[in-house]
Amino acid sequence: MAKLRIRKSNHAMNRSLGGDIGINLVLLVMGAFMFLPMLYTVMQSLKPLDELWQYPPRFFVRNPTLGNFSTLLNLMGSSWVPFSRYIFNTAFVSIIGTVGNVFLSSMAAYSISKMKFPGKKMLFKFVVWSLMFHTTVTAITNFWTMSKIGFVDTYLARIVPACATSMGLYLMKQFMDSSVPNSVLESARLDGASEIRVFWQIAMPMVKPAWLTLVVFCFKDLWNAGSSIYIYSEQYKSFNYAIQQIVTGGISRQGAGAASTVIMMLVPILVFVITQSNIIETMSTSGMKD
Amino acid sequence: MSQKTETAKKPVSRKDMTKWQWTLKEMSNNKTGYFLLAPFYIIFFVFTILPVILSIFFSFTDFNLLETPNFIWFDNYIRLFLEDDIFMLAIKNTLVFAAVTGPGSYLISLLMAWFINELPPKIRAVMTLIFYAPSISGNVYMVWTYIFAADSHGFLNGTLMDLGVISTPIAWLKNASYIMPIVIIVALWTSLGTSFLTFIAGFQIVDRSLYEAAAVDGVKNRWQELWFITLPYMRPQMLFGAVMAITGAFGFGGVITNLVGFPSPDYCAHTIMHHLDDYGSSRFEMGYASTIAVVLFFMMIGSNMLVRKMLGKVGK
């Protein structure tokens, strides 16, 4: 079972003082490089117009205002399709896609990890192999497939492919391999529980960290999705796409643009903060054998 | 493949049935197993495996989505490699970009995860969030367009002018000689994602008693500890991280487009991903786009194979 080790003391062997200082210095510099642009986004979103166009530019805001956020709300009110529709689209696709992916991936992962039947190794190899290429390779051809089965310009174009990600199956399977003891499943089977019941009532509660991880990974992808080549109609487009459209409308909208970015980034960050320890536990089992 | 698993599991060779019959019997005994994985694999095959096969097929045709495709065999490949100058530029850019961002993001992820692991648990969680946040925050990388904005109100220009380093603002994202370094910096900034988390987790599961044993055996400093104990111990995580880093390095097309527009000035940041998008979704030359996809596909698989070989040398 993958258990995280919490180190008891920070002082360990083989640690020189110079090395400690060097490491902390590098962390400080890199941390600043990672963090300051994020902070700058928040600062920009809080700046009133005159501070946004100030010369020389300042990093920190002097008179913070929520004006940019209300400008953003006003801009939303003047969009083609009622703005709530875009929010609904993103929420709907994110939730259904995430739930679908967690269900389908864990079903398949359980089957491959805990049951024995011909062909399962090969099926898993396909998934590992597909981790090696990015979806840009498949996007164009999928457009053809989707037009043949009538998915183009529907919610299905976004939801269905998101329901079976190779990452989802891979993480679930690796975690089940190391965290669900076969003996527990075996005794449940001997008690006469059906395979579906063993999966749902015994295995699934034991892999909670893995499906929480999958929820985060899947949700952040769907939440952040912008324009899609499979969607033409305005009423199916995503929140991220719409917000991009209105904030790129003019230079005076820079503040509103920053405000929209802040709104977009808050949700995935919040979800990650809540689930962090579960995610780290899952990733510790994600290793790949040569 | 099914025959291989079958012989492995078969306890004694049986006379009453052939391998094939045995396989069929095993299959029908395990209907639930197939039932559980069917929904996933049907979607997976249609949207992930089928497109690869279709791309290879289409790459030998002149398919344009409207007319029935004709077989033109290697004409697309010949056109791509011999006549398409922009594609050659795209290959060069992709290789430069991927060769920097792939290993770059991998090494930064590994080093930072290692350093973060030396911190006390509470600070570790905060630092993990700081490093991971840019990769999950959607289009937050657009903040770099405020930093590199072309007029004096842009943060970098304004600051440099104020300090007297430059006298007129520089159009950072319009100037071909600055674009590539800038998109690489931004790509690295957003690239501490899945592989970074994998390393963070990997460092935490290394068996602590190994370090004590190693200290007795004469491991003197943390670098030796890293090279001889930690990294070999977490080789599976390193391999997974490498796959993620490579896949990521080939997937930054969208970031580049959002930063410098499409097409980029003088095609200086034009990658194979852009070329593919251009022919696939704007010009609808499916056959030609598929050819590009096939080339990109083999580049990704090829670099993965190469990296697997290299990782085999860790700790030796």
Residue B137 lies in a domain: yes
Instruction: Report the residue of B24, B45, B47, B142 to disrupt the A interface, i.e. the one with the largest count of A CBs within 10 Å.
Output: B47
Query: Is the predicted pLDDT of residue A251 greater than 80, yes or no?
Result: no
Residue of A nearest to B125 (CA): A276
Residue B219 lies in a domain: yes
Tens of pLDDT, residue by residue over A22-80, are: 889 999 999 999 999 999 999 989 988 888 887 788 888 888 888 888 888 887 777 77
Residue A225, Ramachandran bin (φ over 0: left; ψ between -120 and 50: alpha; else beta): beta
Comparing B13-17, B40-44, B282-286, the range with the smallest average pLDDT is B13-17
- Which of B272, B95, B109, B303 lies closest to A132, judged by CA? B303
CB B303 within 8 A of CB B98: yes
Residue of A nearest to B6 (CA): A118
Mean pLDDT across A102-121: 92
Query: Is the predicted pLDDT of residue B173 greater than 90, yes or no?
Result: no
Distance CA B185, CA B143 (A): 13
Query: Is the predicted pLDDT of residue B122 greater than 70, yes or no?
Result: yes
Distance CA B127, CA B121 (A): 10
B24 and B170 inside one domain: no
- Give the pLDDT of residue A100: 95
- Give the pLDDT of residue B229: 85
Residue B66 lies in a domain: no
- Which of A224, A95, A235 lies closest to B254, judged by CA? A224
CB-based contact B129 A276, cutoff 8 Å: yes
Query: Is the predicted pLDDT of residue A290 greater than 80, yes or no?
Result: no
B8 and B103 inside one domain: no
B34 and B87 inside one domain: no
Query: Is the predicted pLDDT of residue A96 greater than 50, yes or no?
Result: yes
Residue of A nearest to B155 (CA): A57
Residue B68 lies in a domain: no
Q: Six-digit token pair at A175?
A: 């975690």
- B 259-298 near A (Cβ less than 8 A): 273, 276-277, 280-281, 286, 289-290, 293, 296-297
Which domain does B96 fall in, by range?
A: 77-311
B37 and B140 inside one domain: no
- Give the pLDDT of residue B3: 46
Phi and psi, residue A48, nearest 5°:
-70, 165
B240 and B96 inside one domain: yes
- Give the pLDDT of residue A201: 92
Buried/exposed A156-195: b ≥16 CB within 10 Å, e otherwise: ebbbbbbbbbbbbbbbbbbbbeebbeeeebeebeeeebeb
- Give the pLDDT of residue B145: 85
DSSP string, A147-198: HHTT-TTSTHHHHHHHTS-HHHHHHHHHHHHHHS-HHHHHHHHHTT--HHHI
Q: Which amino acid is at A72?
A: L
Q: How confident is the model at residue A4 (pLDDT cuts 50, 70, 90)?
A: low
Residue B175 lies in a domain: yes
- Give the pLDDT of residue A1: 41
Task: Give chain A's domains with CATH numbers.
Answer: 94-239+268-283 (1.10.3720.10)
CATH number at residue B211: 1.10.3720.10
B214 and B145 inside one domain: yes
Query: Is the predicted pLDDT of residue B217 greater than 70, yes or no?
Result: yes
Q: Which amino acid is at B73?
A: W
Mean pLDDT across B282-302: 90
Residue B70 lies in a domain: no
CB-based contact B143 A258, cutoff 8 Å: yes
Q: In the A/B pair of chains, how many CB contacts fall below 8 A?
A: 344
Query: Is the predicted pLDDT of residue B6 greater than 60, yes or no?
Result: no
B140 and B169 inside one domain: yes
Query: Mean of the per-residue pLDDT values for chain A?
Result: 86
Query: Is the predicted pLDDT of residue A212 greater than 60, yes or no?
Result: yes
- Give the pLDDT of residue B297: 92
B7 and B102 inside one domain: no
Comparing A269-273, B102-106, B266-270, the range with the smallest average pLDDT is B266-270
Query: Mean of the per-residue pLDDT values for chain B?
Result: 86
CB-based contact B40 A116, cutoff 8 Å: no
Instruction: Report the residue of B3, B59, B107, B137 to disrupt the A interface, i.e. the one with the largest count of A CBs within 10 Å.
Output: B137
CA torsion angle A199 A204 A205 A211 (round to 10):
180
Distance CA A108, CA B75 (A): 41
Q: Greatest CA span in chain B, whole angstroms?
A: 90
Query: Is the predicted pLDDT of residue A263 greater than 80, yes or no?
Result: yes
Residue B221 lies in a domain: yes
Tens of pLDDT, residue by residue over B223-280, are: 888 888 888 888 888 889 999 998 888 888 888 888 888 888 888 889 888 898 888 8
B28 and B85 inside one domain: no
- Give the pLDDT of residue B315: 61
Residue B42 lies in a domain: yes
Mean pLDDT across B87-101: 91
Mean pLDDT across A79-99: 87
Instruction: Report the residue of A8, A121, A134 to disrupt the B interface, i.e. the one with the largest count of B CBs within 10 Å.
Output: A134
B49 and B93 inside one domain: no
Query: Is the predicted pLDDT of residue A141 greater than 50, yes or no?
Result: yes
Q: Does B225 touch chain A (CB under 8 A)?
A: yes
Nearest to B276 among A140, A142, A169 (CB): A140
ipTM: 0.86
B110 and B182 inside one domain: yes
Q: How confident is the model at residue A85 (pLDDT cuts 50, 70, 90)?
A: confident
Domain count, chain B: 2
More confident residue, A255 or B191: B191
Tens of pLDDT, residue by residue over B134-144, are: 999 888 888 88
User: Which residues in B lie closer than 8 A to residue A100 (C-beta atoms)?
Assistant: none
Mean pLDDT across B66-87: 88
CB-based contact A142 B51, cutoff 8 Å: yes
Tens of pLDDT, residue by residue over A221-240, are: 898 887 788 888 888 888 88
CA distance B146 to chain A (A): 8
More confident residue, B283 or B90: B90
- Give the pLDDT of residue A245: 78
B234 and B133 inside one domain: yes
